[in-house]
Amino acid sequence: MRILTANQMREVDRRTVEDIGIPSLVLMENAGRQVVAAMESFFPDLTDRRVAVLSGKGNNGGDGFVVARTLHQRGVDVSVFVVGQVAEIKGDSRINIEILGRLGVTVVEIADEGQWELHFSEISEHDLIVDALFGTGLKAALSGIYETVIADINASAIAVVSIDLPSGMSADTPDLIGACVEATVTVTLGAPKLPLILPPAEEKAGEVVIADIGIPGGIIDSVEGSRVELLTRDQMRPLITPRAADVHKGDFGRVLIVAGSRGKTGAAILAAQGALKSGAGLVTVAAPRGSMPMLASYSPEYMTEALDETIDGTVDFAAAETVLSFNADVIAVGPGLGRGQGVATFVRELLESSELPIVLDADALNAVADEPAALVGREGRDVIITPHPGEMARLVGGTVDDVQANRLGIARDFAQSHKVYVVLKGYRTIIATPDGKIFVNPTGSPGMATGGTGDVLAGMLAAWLAQLLDAEAACRLAVYLHGAAGELADADQGEVSMTAGDLADHISDAILELTARKRVVQKPE
């Protein structure tokens, strides 16, 4: 699902009106009615509530007038307050405010802070506020009367439904540009916007509803400019297709996981579990010879390959020849591999010499942190990297704060300049592609903040890459299912107690839930 900037949303509106012929007045009507539908869903006692609609002078205010009319016609006690000069309201918004007048709905004009102070005591007696002050066009922080309005709304403890965006947010950034309404519910129109998806702004948006107001999907999909998409269940489901009756294990890929070292065999096991649970036909774990007893005894489903090791129990450079000659379709390298010059040389040799698609995680990324140019992909071979913010910071020569402040930009720039797929892990994991696309993953749980969950993801990425033979699709599906499995593990174990192993155990449930083949247990009330 496309996430749009303010300019892109304006272009979508223009093309819908001018090219398709849907009048802007119809879009405003649809918007207002969709907001009311969301209100009815979140507030079943809506008809028993007193509702105050706070409208601005622009189209967002016009949406608010439609909300007010619709509520009035359904018997809801609704009052309308315009913050600004009513005489300045134009176009479709003017039409809708005049309709309110003909229906006998009183509209109160609040032109200055004195009038706001006078009327706010009346507003504060309502049970629900509809925020229709500002939409997607805001570029700078609000000041004057609007800053006062926002402060008083937030201090009132009254539930707020914001239309399109909580007033005070900019559609072009997830950062807060100033004070904004703290919404209980935000009903965004046509397509999601960045501040509703990414922190810190999304924390102010409450529950987010994406409302279909009649804009054709093809227009949203084709609008020019930066391409940022939100992963959705409907998009992910078709990537998993039923298996034919006569398939065999070779049809689903041979995954080689190069991982583990003395004291870190668990990382290799978790990566293997991620690959197996994600449907890879054959999984082999290649690890230093000293790790073999524990690896081989843990699970009978994967095979093992002993590698030459150093005195420290890490993989020796000489093992590169063994890995390069192995019969595999995809290589995942890094979980628990350890550090040191030998490991770094080993990883760089694999990058330079292997023709296979490769997933680089954890210590494999640390091995190239001082020479990120070694990651540059080449024609015919896909490279997927899976850094957490600290690893990403080392790759770009910055700090974790730098990365967290610009996750989208840093991931996109690195993916394009190095021709790799970047899976930047964390809350709202970011996927960036070599051709400049960005995907934001909405699934996940705070319980995933525990050791080993990234190792599981590395195995999942390798497995889906081996099956789908499409790096972008593999990234999208693996990341989505990884987060979904985390949610299910949270529901089963609780976010405090869940482990990476619990997440791996719930991959199958996440797949079944996605393909609608099984009802899964939800978190108890």
Instruction: Report the pLDDT value the prediction gives residue 525, as an integer from 0 to 100.
Output: 43
Q: In angstroms, rounded to a whole number, what is the distance separating the alpha carbons of residues 244 and 33?
A: 46
Q: In angstroms, rounded to a whole number, what is the distance separating the alpha carbons of residues 465 and 197?
A: 27
Q: In angstroms, rounded to a whole number, what is the distance separating the alpha carbons of residues 132 and 80?
A: 10
Residues 221, 266 within the same domain: no
Residues 193, 277 within the same domain: no
| Domain end point (choices 190, 225, 260) | 225
Instruction: Report the pLDDT value the prediction gives residue 379, as an integer from 0 to 100.
Output: 75
Q: In angstroms, rounded to a whole number, what is the distance separating the alpha carbons of residues 132 and 440?
A: 27
Residue 523 falls inside a structural domain:
no
Specify whether the CB–CB gap between 80 and 106 falls below 8 A. Answer: yes
Instruction: Report the pLDDT value the prediction gives residue 380, as an integer from 0 to 100.
Output: 77
| Domain end point (choices 173, 198, 225) | 225
CATH for 398: 3.40.1190.20
Contacts of residue 409, Cβ cutoff 8 Å, sequence gap at least 6: none
Specify whether the CB–CB gap between 433 and 455 falls below 8 A. Answer: no
Instruction: Report the pLDDT value the prediction gives residue 517, as an integer from 0 to 100.
Output: 64
Structural domain including 141 reads: 2-225
CATH for 140: 3.40.50.10260
Give the position of tokens 């409450």: 206
Rounded to 5°, angle at Cα 201 from 196 and 207: 45
Q: Please name every residue paired with 3 in a beta bridge, in sequence order, or none if there are none.
A: 228
Residue 520 falls inside a structural domain:
no
Specify whether the CB–CB gap between 501 and 270 falls below 8 A. Answer: yes
| Domain end point (choices 454, 470, 486) | 470
Q: Structurally, how many domains does the chain consist of?
A: 2
How many C-beta atoms surround the C-beta of residue 424 within 10 A?
26
Strand 421-424 relative to strand 430-432, pairing: antiparallel
Specify whether the CB–CB gap between 256 and 350 falls below 8 A. Answer: no
Specify whether the CB–CB gap between 384 and 423 falls below 8 A. Answer: yes
Residues 213, 243 within the same domain: no
Ranges of the chain whose pLDDT falls below 70? 377, 517-525
Residue 465 falls inside a structural domain:
yes
Provide the sign of the torsion angle of the four alpha carbons 72, 78, 81, 82, taken in this order. Answer: negative
| Full-model pTM | 0.92
